[in-house]
């Protein structure tokens, strides 16, 4: 799951970035509304953590722009303890949730997972696709009822394919959703992860669509 953090406070932004990465999210951090706007136009994020008081385009204006152009990426607004009006304005302006600073990373992580789940239209926290079960909160995977150990990146690739089961994802789509842009990417990284996933789980779980990308069938492992 890829998160965009928009926060101009250096200490808080840094804390959120490292906290969310440690919790297993692919997180990017920008410090003003203009950079956030640019990032959201260029890249695809699962969810946005938005501070309202920002230099440049302020948080409320950014949210308004986002919704005006039909961008439905879930947004969680960060507000100060006393700023009740901010909270109301944020929610009325199209935010999906809010948290009052100071933020506990564990609570933020849980709420972000819930937002992403809701956005994907899933009620159950466990993702079930055929014989595959994925628990995004526990970062655990079961194949035909047996737990399988996966690396963080492998898990992220599998989760993304599972959330899009039945649809082809290009290598670029997988890369853009899973990796921070400040991290150097091996050109064959996705191929390597897919190779490991097939070996650890099952070859038929992920199909290569030559020249297009990868696809997880809607019901892998079921006859
Ligand atoms: Ca601020």
Which two tokens mark 96?
């999906």
Cα 4 to middle of ligand 1, angstroms: 15
- Is residue 180 within 8 A of residue 219, CB to CB? The reply is no
pLDDT number for residue 181: 44
What is d(CA 63, CA 57) in angstroms, rounded to the nearest whole number?
A: 10
Which two tokens mark 145?
């009822």
Which stretches of the chain drop beneath a pLDDT of 70?
A: 81-82, 122-124, 177-185, 223
pLDDT number for residue 174: 87
pLDDT number for residue 183: 62
Which two tokens mark 129?
């696709």
Closest CA to 1 of 159, 221, 181, 126: 159
Residue 61: phi and psi, rounded to 5, are: -65, -40
Cα 75 to middle of ligand 1, angstroms: 16
- Is residue 16 within 8 A of residue 42, CB to CB? The reply is no
Cα 46 to middle of ligand 1, angstroms: 22
CA dist 80 → 19, 87, 213 (Å): 20, 9, 44
Cα 73 to middle of ligand 1, angstroms: 21
Reduced to 3 states, what is the DSSP secondary structure of residue 47?
strand
Cα 66 to middle of ligand 1, angstroms: 19
Residues with CB under 5 A from ligand 1 (ion): 8, 51, 53
User: Could you give the dihedral angle defined by the CA atoms of residues 36, 45, 22 and 112, in that order, rounded to the nearest 10 degrees?
Assistant: 100
pLDDT number for residue 144: 92
Q: What DSSP designation does 165 have?
A: T
Tens-place pLDDT, residues 33-83: 999 999 999 888 999 999 988 988 989 999 999 988 888 899 999 987 667
CA dist 91 → 34, 50, 85, 94, 118 (Å): 21, 12, 10, 5, 16
pLDDT number for residue 125: 73
Which two tokens mark 100?
């009052």
Cα 131 to middle of ligand 1, angstroms: 45
What is d(CA 167, CA 81) in angstroms, rounded to the nearest whole number?
A: 43
pLDDT number for residue 200: 96
Query: 């935010």: which residue's tokens?
Result: 95
- Is residue 126 within 8 A of residue 135, CB to CB? The reply is yes
Cα 10 to middle of ligand 1, angstroms: 9
């Amino acid at each position: 799951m890829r998160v965009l953090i928009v926060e101009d406070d250096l200490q808080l932004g840094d804390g959120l970035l490292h906290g969310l990465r440690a919790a297993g999210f692919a997180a990017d951090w920008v410090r003003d509304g203009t950079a956030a706007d640019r990032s959201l136009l260029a890249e695809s994020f699962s969810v946005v953590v938005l501070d309202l008081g920002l230099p440049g385009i302020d948080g409320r204006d950014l949210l308004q722009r986002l919704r005006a152009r039909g961008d439905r990426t879930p947004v969680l607004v960060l507000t100060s303890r006393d700023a009740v009006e901010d909270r109301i304005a944020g929610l009325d302006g199209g935010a999906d949730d809010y948290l009052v600073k100071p933020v506990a990373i564990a609570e933020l992580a849980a709420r972000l997972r819930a937002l992403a789940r809701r956005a994907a239209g899933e009620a159950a926290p466990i993702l079930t696709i055929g014989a595959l079960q994925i628990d995004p909160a526990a970062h655990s995977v079961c194949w035909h009822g047996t737990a399988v150990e996966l690396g963080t990146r492998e898990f992220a690739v599998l989760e993304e394919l599972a959330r899009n089961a039945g649809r082809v994802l290009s290598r670029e789509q997988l890369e853009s959703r899973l990796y921070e842009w400040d991290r150097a990417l091996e050109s064959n990284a996705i191929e390597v992860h897919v190779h490991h996933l097939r070996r650890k789980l099952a070859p038929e779980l992920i199909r290569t669509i030559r020249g297009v990308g990868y696809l997880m069938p809607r019901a892998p492992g079921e006859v």
